[in-house]
Amino acid sequence: MKIAIIGVGTAGITTLSYFLYNAPPNFKIYSIHDPSKPILGVGESSTTIFTKNFCNGTKFNMLEDGYGQQLDATLKLGVKYIDWRSHDFYSNLLPGAYGITFDNRKLKQFAFDRFEKIWGDKFRIIEGKCDIVENSDQVTLNINHGLHNFDYVIDCRGFPDSYDDYQFVDMPTNSAIVANITGNPDFQWTGHTATRNGWMFTLNVHSRISRGYLYNDKLTTINEALDDFERNYLLTRDATYNHFDFKSYHAKSFIKNRVIVNGNKALFYEPIEALSGAFYDTVSEYALSHMLGHIGTQPMNNQLLDLAHDYISVISYLYQGGSIYNTPFWRYAKLISKKHLGSSERWKKQYKFLKSLSREQIDHDEIVCMFGSKVWSSWDKHFGYKQMITGNDSLEW
């Protein structure tokens, strides 16, 4: 079976990694990409699912390959929440699990060198600009004016050209100012710092720190955001800035005939807790299961839509209690987050189940709404909701 994976951003590389490791030996995995297309150069934080998948496909090892050079990678053991409450706290990854932060500009070359060495003839490359010209019993791609046929295509080419087949989602933030700061940081967590106008991520690759100030441009101007960023959080003048506006959305359908969308073609929400990578890895898992005949088109699409909605519930849960700031942004964030949680019948059932768990059942760590019950219990305590443990329905869902 011939599988084409279009694109070599983070989602494209991790999809390649998943299929090379998990697909049967008779599968031939093709990377289709345009080498002239630039990669968005930012530091990137990952989840444990991403790290496991990437390590399987590339045999990456933090002790032998990490802490520097090849991926500029560092260890991530959790998320530190700063100024969301009167006390700072950690959202820890579970014992025995870790994520990594890395420079995604180095990801493709590192992965391709490993893929060719490890997987041999199973991994193949076709370079050039690509268009889908047929999608029925097989998929025909036009690559540099030559036609190539595949059994399935996974499209990881980034943001959609048109949003006609997408559902927009109301999220608290829609803009970011990202700055890279030189240095040799040594912390092993990703920071989520509440600010007057949103929140700021802080993550470290081996050679520098990346900070991103996220805000809503309907409530805050770019000059107001930049002033707050520089005055209170940047702490250095050697930074270089990039500004991004973004939409939050998910595909209405993740599979059409033999074309599956992944990466930003499938979903993009604001980056709190770095959950997009886990979603993209789950798309890969469902895609291979579908190709092997284990799940049909409609059940696959329905389950991924459920997961996309769960992702919104997680974000809303984190935002619903606001932060130490009583500002227009945080009032808006609380309002739309409570609105989602109050209108989602799926979340209400998940919440009711979580609230019913005993301490012994929580320790069993059953996965509910993307996370294990231990994580939900920890969030419940540190965010001060105390709903799942004490049965206190203080928030109006």
> What is the full DSSP assignment across 177-209?
EEEEEES-----SEEEEEETTEEEEEEEETTEE
What are the structural domains of the chain? 1-42+104-167+254-270 (3.50.50.60), 43-103+172-247 (3.30.9.100), 309-382 (no CATH)
- The answer to whether the beta carbons of residues 154 and 3 sit under 8 Å apart is yes
Specify the pLDDT at position 396. 37
Q: Considering the chain, what is the average pLDDT of its residues? A: 89
What length is written for the chain?
Answer: 397
> What pLDDT, on a 0 to 100 scale, did the predictor assign at position 39?
65
Confidence band of 88 (pLDDT split at 50, 70, 90): very high
Please tell me the distance from the alpha carbon of residue 237 to that of residue 195, in angstroms, as a whole number: 20
pLDDT band at 395; cut points 50, 70, 90: very low
DSSP run (H or E) holding 326: none
Amino acid 275: pLDDT: 87
- Encode pLDDT of 279-306 as tens digits: 999 999 999 999 999 999 999 999 999 9
Average pLDDT of 99-121?
A: 86
Average pLDDT over residues 21-48: 83
Distance CA 233, CA 255 (A): 42
Listed residue (2, 19, 3, 49) closest to 286, CA to CA: 19
Q: What is the DSSP letter of 79?
A: E
Residue the block writes with tokens 């345009």: 34
Q: CA-CA distance, 322 to 38, in Å (whole number)?
A: 37
Query: Which helix (H) or strand (E) is 252 found in, with range?
Result: none
Enter the pTM of the model: 0.91
* Residue range 23-30: mean pLDDT, rounded: 97
Name the helix (H) or strand (E) containing 44: strand 43-45
